[in-house]
Amino acid sequence: MSEELLATARAWLRQDPDPQTRDELAGLITGAASGDESAAAELADRFGTRLAFGTAGLRGALGAGSNRMNRVLVAQAAAGFAAYLRERVRSDRPTVVIGYDGRRNSRVFATDSAEIFAGAGLRAILLPRLLPTPVLAFAVRHLGADAGVMVTASHNPPNDNGYKVYLGGADDGSQIVAPADAEIAAHIQRVADAGDAGALPRDTGYETAGEDVVEEYIRATAAVAPAPASASGLRWVYTAMHGVGWETFSRILTVAGYPHPSTVRDQLHPDATFRTVSFPNPEEPGAMDLAFARARQVRADFILANDPDADRLAVAIPDESAIGGWRRLTGNEVGLLLGARAARAAEGTPDASLACSLVSSPGLGAIAARHGLAFHETLTGFKWISRAPGMVFGFEEALGYLVNPGTVRDKDGISAAVAILGLAAEARERDLTIAQLLAELGEVYGHFASGQVSIRVEDLSIIGTVMQSLRATPPSTIGEVPIASAEDLLHAPEGTPSGDVLRYRLDDGSRVIVRPSGTEPKLKVYIDAKAESAEAAAQSVDRLEAAVRALLEERS
């Protein structure tokens, strides 16, 4: 056992204010010092590196150590971010707003941050209680703040937490992008190198925001799609996925005039254990099973589901061909429904545009062209989508939608839910279902289908191995379909999206994109096809999915 590693762990222990992580770490130190190999390996994992601060902020498993989310790491992050703001913002007292969700330690991390911001001379405003991430994004703009922090791990596993950062001013309440991430990370590292996080100045004189901030978010979001008379007959089911969405969303429904749904009661209120799901993400198999059961019970027309911090939205519809009679729509299907809605409203507006990530459906580009709007394709993440010039709507296939850019400059699963309710009510006036609205999209804009192959790994090096193999010996076909062109976006031309992404355009007009996930230990492959009918497009995607799985198995 390295004496240096033991010394690092002991130094961390001395500055840790959390009794739980102190006891946890003390046990590991004792075990490692006495020759316990598993304890030594655990210490090496916890202190062999540092949880990296990037454009997604911080996110990781809770626990003691520099490679975990804990009060020491959060204190260092808050102090480093405060130093960055003091350096960047032309104000004697920069303002930062802090929000938090219902995960373990979220309130503790938020309160620690507020005290450290205030201790650094910033005006710190803590939101009044646990709230959805979109409320924090809204508050940054509404309060004219210079920055915002949201303590959340969104839809990550139960033992994770995270630290998401927004900037005000010229950044207009968007998430950070480079070079701000590296500059903040450098300040955080200087704080960490200085030593004792317990010696950082703190001040309990931070402010707590009033309910008026939440009420203004509710008012603005209800205005996205006020309920028409036909909304009174809607039958639908809602689940908050054990998160924080319901309290705010239910108030918006009342203001907007929509009937309240049948709810999945076991998932309606915050529960940090996420006890009814193995993974609290509506995209994951089984996560919406209780919602499907409730929908069958009440004969619902559709289901809406938020993820735990309510910045994402899932929609499901009856489908006789699906197991259990219900099918969750893909993020692309929902994105095209909402994109067409936005395009119809924006037609004729100078410089208006639609935007989506480069891995999302090319169907949004077809919608933009049909309505005479500009179209922007960005890197993945709403930090990029939100910055598209003239953007009136943006989305990414991972269930993220930005429908109200004048209010929230980030994905917002609650405003997206209101927009879907508006579409469902309008369809009801025409005696149509959401499924029939999707069919109409195909007839008007072309039949697009999408699929995804997602490989979760325990060893992150596997992802690097696959990406390196694909670069070193590029495939000439995917299945039986020749590749017409291949792009490595690590070497993209200046002015176009660049990143660790491989994009293949096939002879039949379909598209395959390979990239590592930015937030989870996954390799993701995105498949898109267009055909003369919905059935033909779906069949093309199915064939490509099988071919992609074979290719990845061969390369790993």
Q: State the DSSP code for 476.
A: S
Q: Using an 8 Å Cβ cutoff, are 134 and 410 in contact?
A: yes
Phi, psi of 489 (to 5 degrees): -75, 0
Q: 3-state DSSP call for residue 132?
A: coil
Complete edge-to-edge strand list for the sheet that includes strand 313-318: 262-263, 236-239, 302-306, 313-318, 326-328
- List C-alpha distances in Å: 475 to 402, 522, 533: 36, 21, 28
Q: Which tokens belong to 344?
A: 């119809």
Fill in the amino acid letter for 405.
Answer: P
Q: 3-state DSSP call for residue 181?
A: helix
498 has catalytic annotation? no
Burial of 216 (0-12, 13-18, 19+ CB in 10 A): middle
Give the integer Cα–Cα distance in Å for 246 and 263.
10
DSSP collapsed to 3 states, 328-385: ECCHHHHHHHHHHHHHHHHCCCCCCEEEEECCCCCHHHHHHHHCCCEEEEECCCHHHH
Choose among 217, 259, 262: nearest CA to 234: 259
CA 30 to centroid of chain Cα atoms:
39
Residue 171's CB is within 10 A of a number of other CB atoms, namely: 19
Identified catalytic residue from 66, 113, 154, 386: 154
Query: Per 3-state DSSP, what percentage of the chain is helix, strand, and coil (rounded to 5)?
Result: 45, 20, 35
Q: What b/e sequence results for 404-429 when a residue is b if at least 16 CB atoms lie within 10 Å of its CB, and e otherwise?
A: bbebbbbbbbbbbbbbbbbbbbbbbe
The H-assigned helical ranges of 232-280 are: 245-256
- List C-alpha distances in Å: 222 to 280, 393, 411: 26, 17, 16
DSSP collapsed to 3 states, 404-455: CCCCCCCCCHHHHHHHHHHHHHHHHHCCCCHHHHHHHHHHHHCEEEEEEEEE
Give the integer Cα–Cα distance in Å for 523 and 359.
13
Q: Which tokens belong to 242?
A: 């054990």
Q: Which tokens belong to 182?
A: 């590296």
Phi, psi of 153 (to 5 degrees): -115, 20
Choose among 282, 302, 298: nearest CA to 423: 302
The H-assigned helical ranges of 89-228 are: 106-119, 133-142, 180-194, 211-222
Give the integer Cα–Cα distance in Å for 432 and 453.
32
Give the integer Cα–Cα distance in Å for 278 and 60.
17
Active site residues: 154
